[in-house]
């Protein structure tokens, strides 16, 4: 298939582009390097030394003989997106190209506005481009499990059947997102569902849990292909942060009681889920929703797993409970369904089998690059600030460096 990977220089996108290319698909990446600029803005960097995109693509070609095309531009620019669609004519579009950090969206007004404009306008442009250039094209959109929040009932896959005053209907599952970023995903989902209905487009919304791991078979081929591993307070996800903290002898930063439970999956399962969605598109006019995660853990469960794994490697790992900078339930019911991708053939990798290899070893290998100053939580949901006011377009950041 001809598959577009929007956001292909980012964490999930890079692993996906290589995996699909290795499987024989024709892949073209789109990215505007915003993610790399946000590192400049925040004074943070990935633990792993990622190379510039052209170097990465050259290394991929040298190792496999395969070529991945790349188009540099901003998907909120419709002229750019149109020219990309006309040049590449994708049969499926994987859409990762959004601002994805909840804390980034909660820094202040400017970052909240930037996140929602970047994400919602980018997705809207994409919907119009699909309609204009190839209405048969299958949109595979990355949503998030955080769209649902933490209701006190089971979470279904996208839809729930409700009986009310003697009548029955199947309706979109209620959304209770917990940040301006997570809200942007809900707004995207509504826009996508609407155009499936009015224009007959076909889309799969993958409500993904927190992704962990850096290594996939393809990335492991060469150091020049290495993927991101973020651990700073804004872009670092909880498990990455705990592994890095353990590797430098810092106490693990559990926010509040640590009962916050989320769905998680290995990056190797992310790329497989994407492939499964592409190979099994829905019908014209169908808006499918899959919950894309394999296991659920509380933050405190993860802290204990890292403590044990660290102990086996000779680290004395302490667990700290910090006041929660977010507004979220710290102890709650959580049971989210996730059977649709398993039915399509997903065989999950389990955290208990890969934690040491995928995460702790990477954290230890690149320990000298860890900057502990970027670790303490400073963004607070209750008190947005104006300390960091850049919320950025690339040209603005580049001008300041």
User: How near is the Cβ of 241 to ligand USQ at its closest, in Å?
Assistant: 4
Binding-site member from 3, 4, 5, 13 for ligand NAD (CB under 6 A): 13
> Which residue bears the tokens 């959109």?
141
Q: Does 246 bind ligand USQ (CB under 6 A)?
A: no
Q: Read off the tokens for 70.
A: 């790349």
Q: Looking at 11, 96, 181, 212, which residue is catalytic?
A: 181
Q: Does 41 bind ligand NAD (CB under 6 A)?
A: no
Binding-site member from 45, 144, 189, 294 for ligand USQ (CB under 6 A): 144
Pick between residue 170 and residue 308 the one whose CB is nearest to ligand USQ.
Answer: 308
Residue nearest to ligand USQ according to CB distances in the complex: 146
Pick between residue 31 and residue 41 the one whose CB is nearest to ligand NAD.
Answer: 31
Give the number of residues in contact with ligand NAD, rule: CB under 6 A: 28
Q: Looking at 144, 214, 253, 294, which residue is catalytic?
A: 144
User: How near is the Cβ of 50 to ligand USQ at its closest, in Å?
Assistant: 17
User: How near is the Cβ of 150 to ligand USQ at its closest, in Å?
Assistant: 9
32: partner contacted, choices ligand USQ, ligand NAD, none (Cβ within 5-8 A by kind): ligand NAD
Stretch that binds ligand NAD, among 69-77, 214-222, 344-352, 384-392 (CB under 6 A): 69-77
Segment 331-390, which members bind ligand NAD (CB under 6 A)?
none
CB 202 within 8 A of CB 278: no
Q: Read off the tokens for 390.
A: 């850049």
Pick between residue 214 and residue 315 the one whose CB is nearest to ligand NAD.
Answer: 214
Binding-site member from 25, 56, 70, 100 for ligand NAD (CB under 6 A): 100
392 is a catalytic site residue: no
104: partner contacted, choices ligand USQ, ligand NAD, none (Cβ within 5-8 A by kind): none
Stretch that binds ligand USQ, among 43-51, 123-131, 248-256, 309-317 (CB under 6 A): 248-256
Q: Does 288 bind ligand NAD (CB under 6 A)?
A: no
13: partner contacted, choices ligand NAD, ligand USQ, none (Cβ within 5-8 A by kind): ligand NAD
Which residues are designated catalytic? 144, 181, 185
Kindly list the residues in this chain that would bind ligand NAD in the complex (CB under 6 A): 7, 9-13, 30-35, 74-76, 96-98, 100, 118, 122, 142, 144, 208, 210-211, 228, 237
């Amino acid at each position: 298939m001809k598959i577009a990977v929007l956001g292909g220089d980012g964490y999930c996108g890079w692993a996906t582009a290589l995996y699909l290319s290795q499987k024989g698909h024709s892949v073209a990446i789109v990215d505007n390097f915003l993610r790399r600029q946000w590192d400049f803005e925040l004074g943070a960097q990935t633990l792993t030394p990622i190379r510039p995109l052209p170097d990465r693509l050259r290394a991929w070609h040298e190792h496999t003989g395969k070529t991945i095309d790349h188009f540099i531009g901003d998907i909120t620019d419709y002229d750019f997106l149109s020219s990309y669609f006309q040049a590449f004519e994708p049969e499926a579009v994987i859409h990762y190209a959004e601002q994805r950090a909840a804390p980034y969206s909660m820094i202040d007004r400017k970052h909240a506005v930037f996140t929602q404009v970047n994400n919602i306008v980018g997705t809207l442009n994409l919907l119009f481009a699909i309609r204009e250039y190839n209405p048969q094209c299958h949109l595979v959109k990355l949503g998030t499990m955080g769209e649902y929040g933490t209701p006190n009932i089971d979470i279904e896959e996208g839809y729930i059947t409700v009986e009310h005053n003697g009548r029955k209907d199947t309706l979109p599952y209620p959304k209770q997102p917990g940040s301006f970023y997570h809200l942007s995903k809900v707004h995207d989902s509504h826009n996508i569902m609407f155009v499936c209905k009015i224009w007959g487009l076909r889309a799969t919304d993958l409500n993904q849990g927190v992704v962990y791991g850096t290594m996939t078979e393809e990335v492991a081929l060469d150091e020049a292909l290495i993927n991101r591993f973020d651990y700073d307070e804004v872009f670092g996800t909880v498990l990455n942060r705990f592994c890095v903290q353990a590797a430098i002898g810092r106490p693990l930063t559990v926010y509040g009681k640590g009962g916050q439970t989320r769905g998680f999956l290995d990056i190797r399962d992310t790329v497989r889920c994407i492939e499964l969605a592409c190979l099994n598109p829905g019908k014209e006019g169908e808006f499918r929703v899959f919950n894309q995660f394999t296991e659920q853990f509380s933050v405190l469960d993860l802290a204990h797993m890292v403590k044990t794994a660290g102990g086996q490697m000779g680290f004395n790992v302490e667990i700290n409970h910090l006041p929660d900078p977010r507004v979220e339930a710290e102890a709650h019911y959580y049971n989210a369904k996730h059977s649709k991708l398993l039915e399509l053939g997903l065989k999950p990798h389990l955290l208990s089998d890969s934690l040491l290899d995928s995460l702790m070893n990477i954290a230890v290998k690149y320990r000298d690059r860890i900057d502990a100053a970027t670790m303490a939580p400073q963004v607070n949901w209750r008190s947005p600030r104006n300390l960091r006011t850049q919320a950025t377009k690339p040209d603005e950041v580049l001008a300041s460096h």
